[in-house]
Structure 1
Amino acid sequence: MGAILNVFRLRIGGVLAQVVVLLSLAVYSSYGGGCTFPEGWTGRWFQSGNNGLIDINSTHIQSKGECSETESYDKFLLYDRSEDCYRCMVIHEKHKYVLQYKETYCSPKDSLSTICELISGDAPLYSMFRKEPRPVPQQCPFHPAPFTFTYNRGSSDCTNPPSRAESCTDDSRLLLRYMACPDVPGTESNIEELVCLATWKEGSTRYLVGKIAQVQRRNSIVSDEDTYRCFIYKGQHSDKSMTYYIAQSGDATCNGLSSPTDGSRTMKLTNSDDEHNRCHFPSWIVEHHKWYSLDRTHQYRFTTKNATLKIMNEDGSVDEKRLVCHSILEHKDKKHITLIAHVTMGCESGHACLKFYRREGNVLELQPSSNLTELAQDACTAGHQMPYITLITTSLTPMRCPIFGRYSVLNSLADRRQRRQQLAIGAAAEGSGGGEEAGRQCAPGEHDRASLGCGAAQDSIEFKSPCGDSTVYTCYGSWSEGGVGFLIAAPVARSSLHPRTFCFMYSTAARNETATAGAGGNGGGGGGAPLLALSAVSRSCNRSMVPGRDGDKAYNLTINGTCEQSSKYNSLSHRLAPAAALVVALIAACVR
């Protein structure tokens, strides 16, 4: 009997425990916590008319309540603990950055369906725009820019002079240049920047949410109420143009918008320049879609059917410039082209004159105009400074060097720097009693010999030092211009993370001329025997540099003999001065 009573007590106890759990769940559900919101809603949201931002987490919406019950993924019954009441919210996710909802007043407890039936068809529609985590802008739907546009702020259309909309290098931005129309009251000149954040479609109606910034008052403090705007738009495409009809809300909501032609402000955008559709960069430029500046800090990438050039940082993280081919002025022998491009930098734009030169299959030079002009026909007018930019590909092919022979290094810019460092070290050592020995030390990297174009492939340049170390460069392409030779070369031993390619510039001069030009060191004298002056620059082939004097590295060389002659004859170079002069003279003639 005792055992039976124990079993009965256990069963009764189990039932009581279940009853307690069920009662607890009922109480918990009656006070909220019975459902969760979609994970993507978690964050901070802006809503017009609200003080501060609205926090949403998995179970709560700030100032609205806790999720108690849900139905059909968009209807939610929320319990407001502070007021001990319930409200129905019908929430639609229009975009991951945009929520829209309707709601009931807070009322006593009832079923979800009963309370949600209280929402009428004309109930106010509220919009929330994500603030945190910070939204990532998306491409604006209005393209291809630039456009001319007319606008209306409630009185009549401002058509003359036409306003202008221009794209930015960031496709999520559009620059709106409003013009004042003398015959339309309330119009004024103004520049606004539109940042596109979210787009969605309801039936045939397309929506956009963006932020408007006043360019002239960019540094002023503005509120979210002043910047968030909602748009309805419609595009019409014809054979020669693209037109957009756009209506803008008057505040930071999507209320009051019914069609693309009815809003606080309406606009009609028409793309104003399709000439670039007939202009393309030539095949000898775009056969490599990616080019790099000589120092690898910038990437030049051709896109959009060979009509657009984008200039960006090496890692491609930031677009700096976008150039769209406008018209070709001159095209010579597939080696030189002059064209006009529409250039966009940030949200500023204009026209520039571009000159491309084909130096080798893997080497180009670009000569852009220094200023942007509003009118295309003014871009290539005389007087603009045109600096050279040297471009290379990643697939450089070794080529025969344009200079041949074995040389002695009379002096070099790199060696003079090294020598100053050694003297400083020697002076410090002398103070400690070891100066004489320190002064006799070999300075690594101080070159005294060079072989140019020697070896089986004739595609390398080697500088040697008395210490036995050497630096070897591979030749990748060359050309001459105005008595100066240009050579693209890169060191054989270079970092894969930071490869350096140099432009070597070289010319010949009498030794006394080079000394007078400021080469310095021990290169003077010699009765005017010719020198090979050589400089290396890592950024571009800078025409303002003087070979043998300026640059990252600068050398003055005198020839010892041909590549075929052995080193024992090189020691007799003083006996070969007439032959050396002849060889260098031949080099000079080839350069010219």
Structure 2
Amino acid sequence: MFEVKMGAVIARVCLLLMLAVYSSYGGGCNFPEGWTGGWFQSGIPGLIYINSTHMQGKGECAETDSNDKFLVYDRNEDCYRCLVIHEKHKYVLQYKETYCGQRDSLSTMCESITGDAALYSMFRKEPRPLPQPCPFHPAPFTFTYSRGSGDCANPPSRAESCTDDSRLLLRYMACPDVPGTESNVEELICLATWKEGSTRYLVGLIQQVQRRNSISTDEDMYRCFVYKGQHADKQVTYNIAQSGDATCNGLTSPVDGSRTMKLTNIDDEHNRCHFPRWVVEHHKWFSLDHEHQYHFTTKNATLKIMKQDGSYEEKRLVCHSILEQKEKKLVKLVAHLTQGCESGHVCVVLARREGAVLELRLGSSLHDAPHHACSHDSFAKHVTLITTSLYPVRCPMLGRYNVIDSLADRRRRRQQLTIDETTGEEIAENPVECVMGQYDSASIGCGASQDTIEFQSACTSTVYSCLGGWREGQLGLVVAAPARGGGLTHALCFLYTTYLRNVSSGSAVQYLSVSAVSRSCDRAVTPGVAGDKAYNLTINGTCEQSSKYNSLSVRLVPGWVLLLAALLAARR
């Protein structure tokens, strides 16, 4: 009993001692929740971690005025300091501090911080910050720069946008008459912007593009900028001053810094070039598999190629100049293409197919000079585009067909072949009665609307709706989608050829070779041989012949029934 009472007394004394120590440095307080994480500060090895009550290297939060002043207790040194912390941006904290000493009131200790006291900047590292759009637009720009030895203006340097608006590519040129200048390419990643009075600040990361494999530290990459933009007529200029280290110290003017730049936008004729109306009548187009979205902006001058959900922009094309147009069916133009941070001029051909199907071809290389972009007829593969508001159209090659061979058959046969262990020969296993994708017959355009392709077997059938078709010499192309409700999710491109072949009887039989491709109308695919699906068919009559036969049968049956009924009535 005595031991229990003593234990309770000891526990109570310990609690009182803890409360006394706790109250001795102010009763405790909390840092803002948004500051929790790891922060980089120039000159401090590793990161500074902040939680709700503690700042690494500074101490525990003891008292605050609920604004920007914090009294912190350093347990290691058993002393107090005042921190005046300003949140410039959710990714940027700046603070001044007093020496660590005896405790006094919060206001008294903080008043000892003078105006010329050292200003420290901390940049968020953990959780990883998301880059912000850069404030310099519209790119591209030419620019001059200076490191204190005079302006490097000739040849002019160039700043180019990336597909990600948070990145800007800076191509520095060397000026023979200016010492300290050199050719270099840097990528600026914008992290945070804020304004103090009339002064605008930017914090970003500088990456050396030509030395990506070299090891760069946070001290090398973090830089602070002051900038000011001016708009006059159609010309936009920016004066920019950059810090010489990973701080914002001493940076107050856009014309005074370790390096200064003056950016001037370039009129690349983009404002006078627009994609044709028949192209942009639908602002959103999709690849056949719906993996990519092709979005023409409202001003009809820019095409953005993005992931289907719009989450990531892969390429951006800005119309530069139109070279050729043909009756709202074809346009050939030069565009300025940006992919990542690589950019240049490219040749673009857009062709309108039947049924509101669009095809896009891009030149296979980028050119600095616009007039070189279409000087060589070297293009990447066709990209076939559709909208979500397509309607079925009449299919070509109407008729009924027998399937004599298919890619599914060939794959199935390969899968069913085994090796005889004694002879080493290939033998076939027992065939499967019904295999998905294995069809016996096909009918094209044999419905009332003549707008479907149907493949049939004893156990299954698949129906596609034709959305548009055209011919290129001997090659026929049809864009079709599965005929089911719920909206258009994806489509296929059917490529086909027809030919006559003599059979053993001496007569000629018409063959139809067909391949289906899921991504685009790839002309490199041989119909009936390659592709996602492939079929070889023989004609088995026209839709008209078959429907007349069926119609006649339907009319004859009631006649026999009436005749039989009449005979039975006469016998009675």
Asked whether the two chains share a fold, i.e. TM above 0.5, the reply is: yes
Aligned to 1:88: 82
1:309-328 CA distance string (max 9 Å, x none): 11122333322111111111
Q: Distance in 2 between matches of 1:71 and 1:191?
A: 47
Cα RMSD over matched residues? 2.8
Partner-residue secondary structure (3-state), 1:40: helix
Out of 377, 382, 387, the position equivalent to 2:381 is 387
> Residues 63 and 106 of structure 2 are in contact (CA less than 8 Å); yes or no, is this contact kept in structure 1?
yes
The structural deviation recorded for 1:267 is 0.2
1:406-452 CA distance string (max 9 Å, x none): 12223333333334445559x89xx9xx989x359455543232111
Matches within 5 A, 1:388-403: 388-403=382-397
Q: What is the aligned residue count? A: 535
- Distance verdict in 2 for CA 1:363–1:262, change over 3 Å: same
1:486 aligned onto 2:514: no
The structural deviation recorded for 1:392 is 1.1
The structural deviation recorded for 1:263 is 0.3
1:256 aligned onto 2:250: yes
Aligned to 1:464: 456
The residue type paired with residue 68 of structure 2 is D
Matches within 5 A, 1:434-473: 438-439=430-431, 441=433, 445-465=437-457, 467-473=458-464
> Residues 418 and 446 of structure 1 are in contact (CA less than 8 Å); yes or no, is this contact kept in structure 2?
no
Matches within 5 A, 1:236-251: 236-251=230-245
Out of 53, 57, 60, the position equivalent to 2:54 is 60
- Distance verdict in 2 for CA 1:439–1:542, change over 3 Å: closer
> Residues 33 and 67 of structure 1 are in contact (CA less than 8 Å); yes or no, is this contact kept in structure 2?
no
The structural deviation recorded for 1:144 is 0.8
> Residues 393 and 467 of structure 2 are in contact (CA less than 8 Å); yes or no, is this contact kept in structure 1?
yes
Partner-residue secondary structure (3-state), 2:251: coil
> Residues 361 and 379 of structure 2 are in contact (CA less than 8 Å); yes or no, is this contact kept in structure 1?
no
The residue type paired with residue 454 of structure 1 is C
Matches within 5 A, 1:94-109: 94-109=88-103
Farther off after superposition, 213-222 or 26-35: 26-35
Q: Distance in 2 between matches of 1:419 and 1:525?
A: 29
> Residues 70 and 83 of structure 2 are in contact (CA less than 8 Å); yes or no, is this contact kept in structure 1?
yes
The residue type paired with residue 97 of structure 1 is Y
Partner-residue secondary structure (3-state), 1:58: coil
Partner-residue secondary structure (3-state), 2:531: coil
Normalising to structure 1: TM-score of the pair?
0.85
- Distance verdict in 2 for CA 1:116–1:396, change over 3 Å: same
- Distance verdict in 2 for CA 1:410–1:315, change over 3 Å: same
1:127 aligned onto 2:127: no
> Quick one: percent identity of the two aligned structures?
71
> Residues 498 and 512 of structure 2 are in contact (CA less than 8 Å); yes or no, is this contact kept in structure 1?
yes
The residue type paired with residue 495 of structure 2 is M
The residue type paired with residue 459 of structure 1 is D
Matches within 5 A, 1:556-571: 556-566=536-546
Aligned to 2:493: 503
Q: Distance in 1 between matches of 2:505 and 2:86?
A: 88
Q: Distance in 1 between matches of 2:449 and 2:547?
A: 20
Q: Distance in 2 between matches of 1:57 and 1:145?
A: 40
- Distance verdict in 2 for CA 1:525–1:541, change over 3 Å: farther
> Residues 33 and 66 of structure 1 are in contact (CA less than 8 Å); yes or no, is this contact kept in structure 2?
no
Aligned to 2:411: 417
Q: Distance in 2 between matches of 1:297 and 1:46?
A: 39
> Residues 87 and 94 of structure 2 are in contact (CA less than 8 Å); yes or no, is this contact kept in structure 1?
yes
Normalising to structure 2: TM-score of the pair?
0.87
Q: Please, which runs of 5 or more residues in structure 2 have no aligned partner?
A: 1-11, 551-572
> Residues 90 and 103 of structure 1 are in contact (CA less than 8 Å); yes or no, is this contact kept in structure 2?
yes
Q: Distance in 1 between matches of 2:14 and 2:442?
A: 95
Aligned to 2:135: 141
Q: Distance in 2 between matches of 1:283 and 1:97?
A: 44
> Residues 419 and 443 of structure 1 are in contact (CA less than 8 Å); yes or no, is this contact kept in structure 2?
no
The structural deviation recorded for 1:260 is 0.3
Q: Distance in 1 between matches of 2:381 and 2:436?
A: 36
Partner-residue secondary structure (3-state), 1:192: strand
1:219 aligned onto 2:213: yes
> Residues 140 and 172 of structure 1 are in contact (CA less than 8 Å); yes or no, is this contact kept in structure 2?
yes
Aligned to 1:290: 284
Partner-residue secondary structure (3-state), 1:561: coil
1:229 aligned onto 2:223: yes
1:555 aligned onto 2:544: no
